[in-house]
Each structure stands twice: as structure tokens, then as C-alpha cells.
Amino acid sequence: MVTARHFSLIFGSMSTMALLTTGAVRADNPSWAEQQMRNREMTRQALQQQAQQGRSPQVEQGERWEQEWRQQHPGEPMPSFGALEKMHRGEIMQNMNSGFARMRQNRQAELRRNRLWARQNQESILARQHITWSSQQWANWDRQYDQEQRQRANEYLEGVRQAAELDKAAREEEERRKYYH
């Protein structure tokens, strides 16, 4: 008669054998060993890169909020990070808005450089052909350049819209598959 004790001994022995066999198979499998080496190397590189870069601004901001809380509320329990974020919502919004403003300034500067480069390129082409344009011709060039840039921007936005639609359709299809299968 097999008792619960016998069953646990038999099952325990089988589990141990399975673990030993699986470990031996993994150790003998070169692709598994290579993957483990790659994983260790990637982890080492990531930690090294993180050490070189230092802490992110978000981490420093969170630590500053915690220090401020400890100074202003000694002996009180530290609120969750979400609660700290909620208390500093104004600062977060200001940082986001200033970040967006910086991005807009950088983009506008890039567009001005591109326009200047295109105009200098056009002047160079005309100079090689010994052609001089009137102010009206340059005004026409400016209008055409602006129109081309608007067209490029519209094409980009249309591409983004189409990509979003495709992504949404793919996610919906995946959800249907999960639900019905």
C-alpha cells in the first residue's frame, strides 16, 4: 500500500532526478551556455553604462522631494512616490512645459538652418550658371520652399496617423485572438 509518505518520497526523488537531468542538459547545451554568457555580459555593460551616466534627473528629483519631506515633516512616515508626485504637480507641469518649449526652440532653429542651407545651395547653383535672381524670384522661391515644407509635414503627419491606425488594428486583432481562442 502506497502511503502519503511513500508518495512524497517517490515524487521528491523524481523531482530531484528531473532537476539534475535538466541541469545537465542545460550545461551540455552550448547555445544555453552561450546565452547565459551573453546575458551576464549585457548586464555588466548595462551596469557599467549606468555608473558612467550617473543618476537620471527624475531620480534626483524624487530624492530631492524625499529630502524636502523629511525636513518639513520630521518623524512622519514618508508618503508613497505617487503622493509626492501629486504634491509637486505644478513643478512637474512646469518642467514638462519648459522641456516642450526647449524642443520647439531647437526645432525652429533646425528649420531656420535648413532653410538657410537650402537658400545658400540655390544661390550656389545660380552662381555657377552666372544667373542673378530678382527679389520677386526669391519671393517665389521662398513661397515654394514653404509650400514644400508644409507638404512634407502633412505627409509625415499622415504617415503617423496611418501607423497609429495599423497599430490599433493589430492590437484589436490580438485581443480578439486572445478572447476567442
Q: Which tens digits make up the pLDDT trace of 75-100? A: 999 999 899 889 989 988 998 999 99
> Does the pLDDT of residue 43 top 80, yes or no?
yes
143-166 average pLDDT score: 95
3-state DSSP assignment of residue 29: coil
First to last CA, the chain: 43
Cβ-contact 53, 46 below 8 angstroms: no
User: CA-based angle 56:62:68, to the nearest 5?
Assistant: 135
* pTM of this structure: 0.51
Give residue 75's region: left, alpha or beta (phi > 0; psi -120 to 50): left
Mean of the per-residue pLDDT values of the chain? 85
